[in-house]
Amino acid sequence: MPLDTMSDESDEVLLVLFANGDALAARALTARLTPRVMGHAYRLLGNHAEAEDVTQEAMLRLWKVAPDWRQGEAKVTTWLYRVVANLCADLRRRARGVALDSIPEPEDGRATAAETLQDTARAEALQSALDHLPDRQRQAVVLRHIEGLANPEIAEIMEITTEAVESLTARGKRALTAALSGRQEELGYGDE
Amino acid sequence: MAMSDKDDIPGLEVFFDAARRHGAEPSAALMARIGEDAQAVQALAQRPAPQPTRRSTLSSQLYRLLGGWPAVAGLATAAVAGVWLGISLPEGLLLDEGESVYLVDVAPELAFDLAGGNF
């Protein structure tokens, strides 16, 4: 089966093909899932190098679980988001013990750059604010408002109720608003 | 596409939009490493499972030499029967209490002489 025709196949079908030794399925899954995993890991960690390590480990676990994948139970992406969250939590837990002061401060100099850079500055400011949220709030806010998942799927990923998801995202957003409110003028917060 | 909540806080959405546009992209090197991992896992899965190795001991060689379990079972039966015959008392040859007759003819020429009464 050519690679481009595999774009129509579901993640689950590709994973079964992968388990049967299909090299094209491996390439298709890598191309499709790695950017999502990497993006999510970066938003949870705020560190590019660590996000790459987590991404490689999460994908390796996916390859290894492929032969035992139980079809029709969980979505591949749901499983991956959960693995990424666990790996990131482990990493942050270890880092918290040794390098509390090493969390980078918001890069104010870049945020005050020209208007064309305002978008980037906003993304960086949000990332800095996210980095200071409790792990579960950060995960819920990222899944809901950046990854765009529905509350029931987030609840499945985080293994909590949808009400708990709503509570976490609400508290997370209040904290983000408080963190970003001091930079309203600089970032054009509330302009749009 | 991001979801919106009823309690969305005005202004935050521009930050979420910016974050979606400026996500971290995986490097080519990372993509290559992940592809290599996939190939390695597939190669491992396709390799035939190793056969269990059986150590060849002296007893196993003897077992095969004798002809396997039927022959060994026959030998064992014969050995047990031999031991039983060896230790069991030949009750059929007892005449009276404590008296027994030994039929082993260890000197047939002597018996002949006795019969003749010629000492």
> pLDDT digits over B38-56, tens only?
999 999 887 765 665 566 6
- Taking contacts as CB-CB distances below 8 angstroms, the residues of chain B near A55 are 26, 30, 34
Mutate to test the interface with B, among A30, A69, A145, A163 (most CBs of B within 10 A): A145
- Taking contacts as CB-CB distances below 8 angstroms, the residues of chain A near B6 are none
In three-state secondary structure terms, B96 is coil
Burial class (CB in 10 A: 0-12, 13-18, 19+), A182: exposed
Residue-wise pLDDT for A143-153, tens only, equals 999 999 999 99
Nearest to A34 among B12, B31, B45 (CB): B31
Residue-wise pLDDT for A93-132, tens only, equals 887 665 444 444 444 444 444 555 778 888 889 999 999 9
CA-based max dimension of chain B: 142
Nearest Cα to Cα of residue A85 among A73, A97, A96, A77: A77
d(Cα A97, Cα A91) in Å, to the nearest integer?
Answer: 10
Residue-wise pLDDT for A1-57, tens only, equals 565 667 788 999 999 999 999 999 999 999 999 999 999 999 999 999 999 999 999
Q: What is the pTM of this model?
A: 0.66
Backbone angles phi, psi at B100, to 5 degrees: -140, 155
CA A9 to chain centre: 23
**Which value does ipTM take for this structure?**
0.79
CA A120 to chain centre: 18
Find out whether A87 and A58 touch, Cβ atoms under 8 Å: yes
d(Cα A63, Cα A61) in Å, to the nearest integer?
Answer: 5
